[in-house]
Structure 1
Amino acid sequence: MIKNGNYCIFKGEEYEMTEDMDGNLLILTDNPLSIKEGFIDRFNSKVFSKIVTPHEITNCYSIRTKGKLDGKVVNISKETTDQYYIGTSDSIIAQELGLEQTDKYYYDKWIPKDQVEVFEEKIDIKF
């Protein structure tokens, strides 16, 4: 599973976390049973959110899914059953790996899963 974002632990469970336009700290889930815990689907999107305070959550961290391909570290943003979508802003790495330029400073393409060693970069977030 590809994880890119900020996460925290709330009541022993991991949730993605974000901030709304009013500066409230939100935790997110796609589990409809979370309604019983006070989560709501604000936009009828099947994503349930709950406003929490920093004191209610623990172990806040940022996770980025990365991959190593031919000794080069790349970002992984999507996956299918048998492929990862990898990318980098490093033009030299992009050229060496045969990535396509898809933005002014970004290169990416789909790669078979068996060619990529996947790992996660985890950085603690302090409040």
Structure 2
Amino acid sequence: MLRKGLYGIYGGVEFSITFDMDNNLKIMTENKEKIDATFEDTYQNGVYTKIVKPNEIVDCVSIIPFGIIKEEKVQILQEKENEYQVATGSLLVGSKLNLPRIDRDSWLGWVSKSEVMLIEEITPINSEDL
């Protein structure tokens, strides 16, 4: 599964971190095995969340996924079962990878996961700064 955004450890388990409209810090997951009765599925869509305090989360990181295809670095935007959606702002890279041009400075396309070396740029974050 593609990890992108903020993550942290709560109760020994890694969760994605988000904020609600009231600026409450929330942890979230789609994995029912990670949760207990204190989590809620507010919108009945299979995403479970819980409001927490920053000091309850440890090992916070920001994760930005990139990919290497034919020795070229590209952004990874999404994933499907066997593909990544990749993007670049470089004419040379877009042409080399045969990506469709979507506007003046953007090339975007789906590429087989087997062609991509996934790299996660991980930056530590102090949970008290969230």
Q: Same fold (TM over 0.5)?
A: yes
Using the aligned pairs only, state the percent identity.
33
Q: What's the CA shift string for 1:41-91, capped at 9, x where partnerless?
A: 111111011000110000111112211012111122333443322112334
Q: Does 1:3 align with 2:3?
A: yes
* Unaligned ranges ≥5, structure 2: none
Q: How many residues matched?
A: 126
* Unaligned ranges ≥5, structure 1: none
Aligned to 1:119: 119
Aligned to 1:102: 102
Separation of aligned partners in 2, 1:122 and 1:103: 30
The alignment's C-alpha RMSD in Å is 1.9
Give the TM-score, by structure 1 length.
Answer: 0.86
Separation of aligned partners in 2, 1:20 and 1:101: 35
Give the TM-score, by structure 2 length.
Answer: 0.84
Decide whether aligned partners of structure 1 residues 19 and 82 sit closer, same or farther in structure 2, where only a CA change above 3 A counts. closer
Decide whether aligned partners of structure 1 residues 69 and 46 sit closer, same or farther in structure 2, where only a CA change above 3 A counts. same
